[in-house]
C-alpha cells in the first residue's frame, strides 16, 4: 500500500483514490469482535450492520446500528469483515465475501468519493454525479506503466494494463464497459480514449485529404472529436440521465508495432430510432434538434426554414425541451467544430443539417380524411413544401407517394390507397429511417477519416453498451439488449474459467472441470437457436396474415412447459400487460409482444424511397441507395438500407448478425471488465440506495463473478513469499540450520497451523487458497505479530529505562558533589581570611598585568637597538 508521500504524484486526486496512512493505522487498531459483528437482512435497507446478542435454535437476536433489536434466521446473518478491510480496494481479498460486504464496501468508498473499486476481474465504478479531480493530466501520468496492484483502482489503470498486455503479449485487448443508462458508461469510455490519446501519441499531423478541403486535426483530435458528433445525434435526455447514449458502440483503437496510435474505427449497435418521433414526458429527443434551435448559428434557422421554438415541432416537443446541465449553444459549436475536424465536406455538412431539419418538418405534416371515403389527403402543403425543399424533392410527388403508394402485385405495380393513420405511420417510419441512415453514414464517414495509412498491428476495443434492462414494460428492444448481456455474461464466465483452468493445469492442481459458461446456455439457446424466439419471430414476419396472437401461440406451443427459462407471466396489478416471461441470469423479465412483427419487418413506403434515391440532395440519394448498405455494413456496424431486389432482412436477423460479429471480435481479444453503477434514482451526489445497487450488482454479474470466484481458488501466493510472510505463525515447524526448499517449508508450515486443510492446494510454484482463507491467515499473522511486537516493545522499554536509570544515578552523584562544595563554601564565606582573599584577588591580577607591560617594554627597547645597529652597518 502506497505511503502518503508516494501518493503525492496523483496531486489533488490522491484523497479520492486511496485511504491515508492515518486512516489505515486507525482501522488496524480499531477494536473488533469477529463473533458478534454482523450484517442482518432488513426489509427496508436490504442489509444493516448489527451486533449479535444471542443465538438459539437457528435464530439470531441482534441489535442494529439504528438501535432496534431484531430476531432473524441464521441464514439471514452474515459475518462482518475486520475494520482493516474497510474501503478495501479489491473486494476479492475480503475474508467474508457476500452481498452485504460488497454493498457496504462500495457504499463507504463512495461516501469518501472513491468511485473505483476492484472485484476480482471486474473494476466497479459508481457515478459520483459531480466533478472529481481524478482525470487530471498528472493522474494520467501517474498511472502510466503501473501494474494493477501498484496503483489505486481507476479506469486509467484498466486502460494502462490493457495497453501493457497488448505490448508484452502481442495480443489484441478489449475493455467491456456495461451498466444501466446513467451509470457513467460513456464518460468512462471517453476517459479510456483520453488515456490512449495521451500516452500513445505519435506527434505527427494526419495528412489532409485533398478532396475534403476541410480543417484536419491530429488523429488523436479526430478520435476525441468523434464523441461530440456521435453524442449530438445519438444521445438524449432520459429520466435517469441528462446525456444518455441511445446506441451501443464498439470503438477499436489500432496501434503500430511500437505502441503508437495508428488509426481507429467505430461500430454502432441498436440506435433507438423510435425516439425521433416519440419521447416520454420527462425525456427529450436527440440533442442535435435543440442545438440547432438554440439560435447560436442564426444562418441554420434560416437555411432549414425553422423557428427557435421547439414547441413549433411535434416530433421534438413531446417531453422536455431544455436540460439544466446542458448548454445547447455551446454544444452546437462543439458539434459544428467536430464535423470540420472529422473532414466532412461543405456539401456533406449542409446535407446533415438539411436532413435533420427535414425530420422536424415531417412531424408537422398534416393529413385529413376525404369526404365519404377512408382515403387520406394532404391538409395543407406548406410544411410538405419545406420538407421537400430541404430534401431536393418535388412536393407534389412526395405527397402523392405518401397518400397513394405504388405496390407490386405479381409482376405489375398498382396504386394503393392509404388511411390517415397509415400515412402518419408511413411519415414516422420515413423520418426514423432517414435519421438512422444518416447516423450510420456519419459513423462510416468517421471511420474513413480515422482509417490512416499508417501500419497497424494490434487494437484495443472499447465496448460501451446498455446493461441488463428490467422495466415495467419490456419489448423487443429490451429482449435484444438482455440477450446481448446474456452473451457478454457467458463470455465473461467462460473467460474467467478458462484463465483459472489454465493456471490450475499449469500448476498441477487437482481440479474438477466446471464450465460456468454453460450456466447461461439454456436461456441463450431459447432465444437464438433454430425454433427459438428470434427464429419464430422471423418466420412469422414471412407470413402476411401473421398477427401478434399467432406469434404468441407459436411461442407457447414451442416452449411453454418444455423450457424452464420460458414461463407464463403472473399478472400483476398496475403493471403493463405481459405475454411471456424469460428467466435471465439477472432476473425474470416479463415481455410484451404487441407490435413486434411490424418492428421486426421495419416497413418503409417504397415509393417515397424511390423518390429519395433520385433526390437532388446527393447525400440523401446515397443513404437510400444500395451502395450505402454495403458501406455501412463495413463501418457502421449495421446495414444502412436494403438493396433493391435484395433478400428481405429483419431487424432481429440483422441484430444477431452484428452481435455474432461482435462476439467473434471479443473472443479474439484479452478482455478487461468495467461495471458502472447508478447509486440512486435522484442523481444525488454521495447517496446510495441499497436495493438499487444490489439489483445492478446482480444484473451486471459482479455477484455472479464472486460466486465463481468462491468455487475456485482465487487467492494464490508464491512459495518463497508464503514462507517469508507466514513463517512467523509457527517458526519451529521449519527446521533451523539445514536447507529446506520453499515448497516443503510451506507444506510443513500449513500442516502445523490450526486451519481447514481442505481449503488450500499446492501447485508447482504457488500455494492456492479458497476465498477467505488467506484473509484468515492474515488475521492470525496480525495476532502473532501483535504478540511479538508487544514482547519487543517490553524488551525495548526495559532497556531504555535501564539506560535512563543509569543516567539518573550519575546525575545523583553529581548533585551530591555540587551540594558538598556549596555547603563547604557557605561555611567559609564569612571567615576574615576569606574576606581578605576576595579583596586581594583583583590586585593579584593587576600586579600580573604590570609585570607583563614591563617585559613588553624591555622587548621593545631591545628591538629598537637591534634596528639602529643594522641601519648603521648599511
Binding-site annotation, residues for ATP: 179-186
Active-site residue, selected from the candidate residues 178, 189, 241, 493: 241
Instruction: Determine whether 680 is an active site residue.
Output: no
8-state DSSP, 417: -
Q: How many residues are given for the chain?
A: 874
Instruction: Determine whether 244 is an active site residue.
Output: yes
Q: Quick one: residue 802, left, alpha or beta (phi over 0 = left, psi -120 to 50 = alpha)?
A: alpha
Instruction: Determine whether 182 is an active site residue.
Output: yes
Instruction: Determine whether 732 is an active site residue.
Output: no
> What is the per-residue DSSP string for 59-114?
EEEEEETTS-EEEEEGGGEEEPPPGGGTT-SBGGG-SS-SHHHHHHHHHHHHHTT-
Rounded Cα–Cα distance for residues 19 and 41 (Å): 29
Rounded Cα–Cα distance for residues 759 and 836 (Å): 96
Active-site residue, selected from the candidate residues 119, 159, 174, 244: 244
C-alpha cell at 218: 491530429
Task: Count CB-CB contacts under 10 A for residue 221.
Answer: 17
C-alpha cell at 432: 426514423
Q: Is the dihedral of CA 624, 352, 224, 469 positive or negative?
A: negative
Instruction: Determine whether 469 is an active site residue.
Output: yes
Active-site residue, selected from the candidate residues 36, 79, 181, 765: 181
Instruction: Give the residue ranges of the annotated binding site.
Output: 179-186
**Coil, strand or helix: which one is 175?**
strand
8-state DSSP, 569: P
- The alpha carbon torsion through 540, 545, 549, 550 (nearest 10 deg) reads -50
Cβ–Cβ under 8 Å, residues 762 and 718: no
Active-site residue, selected from the candidate residues 467, 636, 701, 763: 467
> What is the per-residue DSSP string for 685-703?
TT---HHHHHHHHHHTTHH
Rounded Cα–Cα distance for residues 766 and 771 (Å): 15
**Coil, strand or helix: which one is 618?**
helix
Active-site residue, selected from the candidate residues 159, 174, 182, 447: 182
Q: How many CA atoms lie within 13 A of 594 on its CB side?
A: 6
Active-site residue, selected from the candidate residues 127, 186, 484, 658: 186
Cβ–Cβ under 8 Å, residues 206 and 705: no
End-to-end CA distance of the chain: 90
C-alpha cell at 197: 490519446
Cβ–Cβ under 8 Å, residues 120 and 91: yes
183's CB contacts (< 8 A; 6+ apart) are 127, 467, 676, 677, 678, 696
Active-site residue, selected from the candidate residues 469, 631, 633, 704: 469
Instruction: Determine whether 577 is an active site residue.
Output: no
Rounded Cα–Cα distance for residues 278 and 851 (Å): 121
Cβ–Cβ under 8 Å, residues 563 and 546: no
Cβ–Cβ under 8 Å, residues 391 and 617: yes
Cβ–Cβ under 8 Å, residues 765 and 507: yes
Rounded Cα–Cα distance for residues 683 and 324 (Å): 13
Instruction: Determine whether 574 is an active site residue.
Output: no
130 by Cβ neighbours in 10 Å (0-12 / 13-18 / 19+) ranks as exposed
Rounded Cα–Cα distance for residues 494 and 475 (Å): 28
Task: Count CB-CB contacts under 10 A for residue 780.
Answer: 17
Cβ–Cβ under 8 Å, residues 593 and 579: yes
Rounded CA Rg of the chain? 40
Angle (deg, nearest 10), helices 420-450 and 626-635: 50
C-alpha cell at 10: 496523483
Helices (H), ranges, 200-307: 219-234, 287-292, 298-304
Instruction: Determine whether 636 is an active site residue.
Output: no
- Catalytic residue ranges: 181-182, 186, 241, 244-245, 467, 469
Amino acid at each position: 500500500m502506497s505511503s502518503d508521500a508516494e501518493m503525492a504524484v496523483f496531486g489533488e486526486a490522491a484523497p479520492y483514490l486511496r485511504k491515508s496512512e492515518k486512516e489505515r493505522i486507525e482501522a488496524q487498531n480499531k477494536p473488533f469482535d469477529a463473533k458478534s459483528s454482523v450484517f442482518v437482512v432488513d426489509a427496508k435497507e436490504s442489509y444493516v450492520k448489527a451486533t449479535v446478542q444471542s443465538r438459539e435454535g437457528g435464530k439470531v437476536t441482534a441489535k442494529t446500528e439504528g438501535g432496534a433489536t431484531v430476531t432473524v434466521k441464521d441464514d439471514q446473518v452474515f459475518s462482518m469483515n475486520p475494520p482493516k478491510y474497510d474501503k478495501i480496494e479489491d473486494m476479492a481479498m475480503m475474508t467474508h465475501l457476500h452481498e452485504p460486504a460488497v454493498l457496504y464496501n462500495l457504499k463507504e468508498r463512495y461516501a469518501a468519493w472513491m468511485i473505483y473499486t476492484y472485484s476480482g476481474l471486474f473494476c466497479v465504478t459508481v457515478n459520483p454525479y459531480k466533478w472529481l479531480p481524478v482525470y487530471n493530466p498528472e493522474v494520467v501520468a501517474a498511472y502510466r506503466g503501473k501494474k494493477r496492484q501498484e496503483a489505486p483502482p481507476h479506469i486509467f489503470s484498466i486502460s494502462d494494463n490493457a495497453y501493457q498486455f497488448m505490448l508484452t503479449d502481442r495480443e489484441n485487448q478489449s475493455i467491456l464497459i456495461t451498466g444501466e443508462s446513467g451509470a457513467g458508461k460513456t464518460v468512462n469510455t471517453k476517459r479510456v480514449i483520453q488515456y490512449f490519446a495521451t500516452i500513445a501519441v505519435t506527434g505527427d499531423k494526419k495528412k489532409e485529404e485533398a478532396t475534403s478541403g476541410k480543417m484536419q486535426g491530429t488523429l488523436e483530435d479526430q478520435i476525441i472529436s468523434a464523441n461530440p458528433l456521435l453524442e449530438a445525434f445519438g444521445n438524449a435526455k432520459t429520466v435517469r440521465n441528462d446525456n444518455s447514449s441511445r446506441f451501443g458502440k464498439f470503438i477499436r483503437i489500432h496501434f503500430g508495432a511500437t505502441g503508437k496510435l495508428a488509426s481507429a474505427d467505430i461500430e454502432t449497435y441498436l440506435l433507438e430510432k423510435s425516439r425521433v418521433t416519440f419521447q416520454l414526458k420527462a425525456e427529450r429527443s436527440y440533442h442535435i434538434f435543440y442545438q440547432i434551435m438554440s439560435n447560436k448559428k442564426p444562418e441554420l434557422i434560416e437555411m432549414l426554414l425553422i423557428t427557435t421554438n421547439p414547441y413549433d415541432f411535434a416530433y421534438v416537443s413531446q417531453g422536455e425541451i431544455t436540460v439544466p446541465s446542458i448548454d445547447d449553444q455551446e454544444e452546437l459549436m462543439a458539434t459544428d467544430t467536430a464535423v470540420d475536424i472529422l473532414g466532412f465536406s461543405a456539401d456533406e455538412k449542409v446535407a446533415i443539417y438539411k436532413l435533420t431539419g427535414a425530420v422536424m418538418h415531417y412531424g408537422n405534416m398534416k393529413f385529413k380524411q376525404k369526404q365519404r371515403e377512408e382515403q387520406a389527403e394532404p391538409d395543407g402543403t406548406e410544411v410538405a413544401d419545406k420538407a421537400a425543399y430541404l430534401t431536393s424533392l418535388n412536393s407534389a410527388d412526395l405527397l402523392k407517394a405518401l397518400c397513394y403508394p405504388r405496390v407490386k402485385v405479381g409482376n405489375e405495380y398498382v396504386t394503393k390507397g392509404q388511411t390517415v393513420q397509415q400515412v402518419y405511420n408511413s411519415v414516422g417510419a420515413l423520418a426514423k429511417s432517414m435519421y438512422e441512415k444518416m447516423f450510420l453514414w456519419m459513423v462510416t464517414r468517421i471511420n474513413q477519416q480515422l482509417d490512416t495509412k499508417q501500419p497497424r498491428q494490434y487494437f484495443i476495443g472499447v465496448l460501451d453498451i446498455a446493461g441488463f434492462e428490467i422495466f415495467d414494460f419490456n419489448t423487443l428492444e429490451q429482449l435484444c439488449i438482455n440477450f446481448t448481456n446474456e452473451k457478454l455474461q457467458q463470455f465473461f464466465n467462460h473467460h474467467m474459467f478458462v484463465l483459472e483452468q489454465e493456471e490450475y493445469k499449469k500448476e498441477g492442481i487437482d481440479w474438477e472441470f466446471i464450465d460456468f459458461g454453460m450456466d447461461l446456455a439454456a436461456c441463450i439457446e431459447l432465444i437464438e437457436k433454430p425454433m427459438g424466439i428470434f427464429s419464430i419471430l422471423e418466420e412469422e414476419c414471412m407470413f402476411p396474415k401473421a398477427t401478434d396472437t399467432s406469434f404468441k401461440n407459436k411461442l407457447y406451443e414451442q416452449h411453454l412447459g418444455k423450457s424452464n427459462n420460458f414461463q407464463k407471466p403472473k399478472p400483476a396489478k398496475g403493471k403493463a400487460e405481459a405475454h411471456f416471461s424469460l428467466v435471465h441470469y439477472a432476473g425474470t423479465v416479463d415481455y410484451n409482444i404487441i407490435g413486434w412483427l411490424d418492428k421486426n419487418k421495419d416497413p418503409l413506403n417504397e415509393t417515397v424511397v424511390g423518390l429519395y434515391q433520385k433526390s437532388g440532395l446527393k447525400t440523401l440519394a446515397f443513404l437510400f441507395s444500395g451502395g450505402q448498405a454495403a458501406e455501412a455494413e463495413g463501418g457502421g456496424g449495421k446495414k444502412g438500407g436494403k438493396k433493391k431486389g435484395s433478400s428481405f432482412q429483419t431487424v432481429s436477423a440483422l441484430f444477431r448478425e452484428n452481435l455474432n460479429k461482435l462476439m467473434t471480435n471479443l473472443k479474439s481479444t484479452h478482455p478487461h471488465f468495467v461495471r458502472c453503477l447508478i447509486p440512486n434514482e435522484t442523481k444525488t451526489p454521495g447517496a446510495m440506495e441499497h436495493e438499487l445497487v444490489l439489483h445492478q450488482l446482480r444484473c451486471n454479474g459482479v455477484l455472479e463473478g464472486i460466486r465463481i470466484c468462491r468455487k475456485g481458488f482465487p487467492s494464490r501466493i508464491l512459495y518463497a513469499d508464503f514462507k517469508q510472510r507466514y513463517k512467523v505463525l509457527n517458526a519451529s515447524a521449519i527446521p533451523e540450520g539445514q536447507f529446506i526448499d520453499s515448497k516443503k517449508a510451506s507444506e510443513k508450515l500449513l500442516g502445523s497451523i490450526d486451519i481447514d486443510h481442505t481449503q488450500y492446494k499446492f501447485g508447482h510454484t504457488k500455494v492456492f487458497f479458497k476465498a477467505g482463507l488467506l484473509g484468515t491467515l492474515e488475521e492470525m499473522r496480525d495476532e502473532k505479530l501483535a504478540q511479538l511486537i508487544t514482547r519487543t516493545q517490553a524488551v525495548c522499554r526495559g532497556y531504555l529505562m535501564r539506560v535512563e536509570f543509569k543516567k539518573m544515578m550519575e546525575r545523583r552523584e553529581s548533585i551530591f558533589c555540587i551540594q558538598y562544595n556549596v555547603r563547604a563554601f557557605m561555611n567559609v564565606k564569612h571567615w576574615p581570611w576569606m574576606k581578605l582573599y576576595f579583596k586581594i584577588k583583583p590586585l593579584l591580577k593587576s600586579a600580573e598585568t604590570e609585570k607583563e607591560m614591563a617585559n613588553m617594554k624591555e622587548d621593545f627597547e631591545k628591538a629598537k637597538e637591534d634596528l639602529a645597529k643594522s641601519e648603521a652597518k648599511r
